[in-house]
Amino acid sequence: MKKLQLNEEVNISRLVQGVWRLADWNYQKAEIEGLIEACLELGIDTFDHADIYGNYSCEEMFGHAIKHRTDLKEKIKIITKCGIKLISDKRPDHYVKHYDTSFEHIVWSAENSLKMLGVDVLDVLLIHRPDPFINTHEVARAFSKLKEQGKVKAFGVSNFLPSQFKALQAAMDFPLVTNQIEISAVALHEFANGSIDLCQELGIPPMAWSPLAGGGIFNAQTHRMMTLKNVLHKIGDNHGATIDQVMYAWLLSHPAGIVPVIGSGKIDRIRAAIDAQQIHLSRQEWFEIWVASKGESVP
């Protein structure tokens, strides 16, 4: 599988395996190991985490599975996120859900993620959500310290608007490498707000969370969703592909280099996503999906 170079130290696989539902899958240690091994065999070596996933449990579950698997640790790349504080029995001092992008919390979060995952270095650390109380210079100082200490190789953000991305980048001594945002054939807002444009301007690949729009397309109820589903079926039939594969292909074909984050832990669904790389949509097919989703022709 093709790799994407994020900076001089980090490259990631063209598709990334997301594990935010790991706790919901009820996988045992051996099943998590098996998932990681299967992903590696299929060419996916990059795994997307966040400190809060599974009520602060997913990093630790993943880390427990690879604790004695040095062979796996040497092959995988880890992306994780910080900055959200949930109300949780794991964090009894949190009485309101809020964001924390302070120097102290970012450094603590990165070090805690290293501990939970049982690895020596994080490949990419992202700020999970834009923080209205952010001090961009504090964030930049935390990023610089973690990089200098060799604890994190690259940094980025998630769900940032272009103005928020540029404000943080202006405080940084080195480039941010990605913005992980919601992009799918259903969710088009990042095209309108300038996020995709900014990624192209800076030459960084955006990562797409929920690339299948949470699976809502499969149980389409609204006129818009049913229209889009019919178009996806039609194009899928032309390519001998399923509608989820067409949705992945729609993202993968975009010149911005969008990186889908796969949300399923089922090997057949992961394999289907990988096979979508072989689907080559024409420009007209791409726009047919765009028009069906927008509900109107381009001007």
Per-residue pLDDT of the chain (299 residues; tens, 9 = 90+): 889 999 999 999 999 999 999 999 999 999 999 999 999 999 999 999 999 999 999 999 999 999 999 999 999 999 999 999 999 999 999 999 999 999 999 999 999 999 999 999 999 999 999 999 999 999 999 999 999 999 999 999 999 999 999 999 999 999 999 999 999 999 999 999 999 999 999 999 999 999 999 999 999 899 999 999 999 999 999 999 999 999 999 999 999 999 999 999 999 999 999 999 999 999 999 999 999 999 999 99
Structural domain includes residue 81: yes
> Is 53 part of the annotated catalytic residue set?
yes
Give a yes or no: residue 207 inside a domain.
Answer: no
The catalytically annotated residue of 53, 56, 99, 248 is: 53
**In-domain check, residue 85:** yes
In a domain, 292, yes or no: no
Residue 154 is given by DSSP the state E
In a domain, 227, yes or no: no
Q: Which stretch of DSSP H or E encloses residue 262?
A: strand 259-262
Q: How many CA atoms does the CB half-sphere of 7 hold within 13 Å?
A: 14
Asked if residue 205 lies in contact with residue 178, where contact means CB atoms within 8 angstroms, the answer is yes
- For the domain that residue 171 is a member of, what is the CATH number? 3.20.20.100
Structure tokens at 191: 């095209």
Decide if 61 is inside a domain.
Answer: yes
Alpha carbon distance 266, 279 (integer Å) = 21
Task: Write down the residue that tokens 């001089």 correspond to.
Answer: 8
Q: Print the domain residue range for 91.
A: 3-177
Contact 184, 212 (CB under 8 A): yes
Q: What is the pTM of this model?
A: 0.97
